[in-house]
């Protein structure tokens, strides 16, 4: 199984991120993606292979064209990863908000250990 952090790392390259953003609009062939970027078709294919290996895109063959689209499962994995940070932050905020005020009306902060 591919970890969310590996998926995020695959998006670290600016060209791969641009390809990913193109695919958020609609599925596209290698040629259609290459037309929108300052890279060759072979380079686009290599970047798509990395995105596919990371579980972020899938493809289907239509005649002689390979049409790529985003893989919802890969996106869900990344979202779950980022949501875990959000839940931790909310839990910490709730704990701070529920602490009783000190005599000056300020919430007493706990020291980190």
**In angstroms, rounded to a whole number, what is the distance separating the alpha carbons of residues 108 and 113?**
16
pLDDT in tens, 31-86: 999 999 999 999 999 999 999 999 999 999 999 999 999 999 999 988 988 888 87
**Secondary structure class of 47 (helix, strand, coil):** helix
**In angstroms, rounded to a whole number, what is the distance separating the alpha carbons of residues 44 and 20?**
11
Let me know if residue 33 belongs to a domain: yes
pLDDT at 43: 98
Number of domains composing the chain: 1
**Looking at residue 49, which CATH number applies to its domain?**
1.10.10.10
Q: Strand 65-70 and strand 28-29: pairing? A: antiparallel
pLDDT at 92: 78
Let me know if residue 89 belongs to a domain: no
What kind and span of H or E run contains 58? strand 57-62
The range of the structural domain enclosing residue 47 comes to: 4-73
Average pLDDT over residues 25-35: 97
Residue with tokens 């292979």: 49
Let me know if residue 52 belongs to a domain: yes
Let me know if residue 109 belongs to a domain: no
pLDDT at 41: 96
Give the pLDDT band (50/70/90) at residue 3: confident
Report the share of the chain in percent with pLDDT over 90. 62
Let me know if residue 92 belongs to a domain: no
């Amino acid at each position: 199984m591919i970890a969310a952090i590996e998926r995020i790392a695959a998006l670290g390259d600016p060209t791969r991120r641009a390809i990913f953003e193109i695919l958020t609009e609609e599925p596209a062939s290698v040629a259609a993606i290459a037309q929108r970027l300052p890279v060759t078709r072979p380079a686009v294919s290599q970047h798509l292979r990395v995105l596919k290996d990371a579980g972020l895109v899938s493809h289907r063959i239509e005649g002689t064209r390979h049409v790529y689209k985003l893989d919802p499962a890969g996106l869900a994995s990344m979202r779950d990863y980022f949501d875990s940070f959000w839940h931790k932050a909310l839990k910490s905020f709730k704990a701070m908000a529920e602490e009783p005020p000190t005599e000056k009306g300020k919430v007493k902060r706990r020291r980190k250990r």
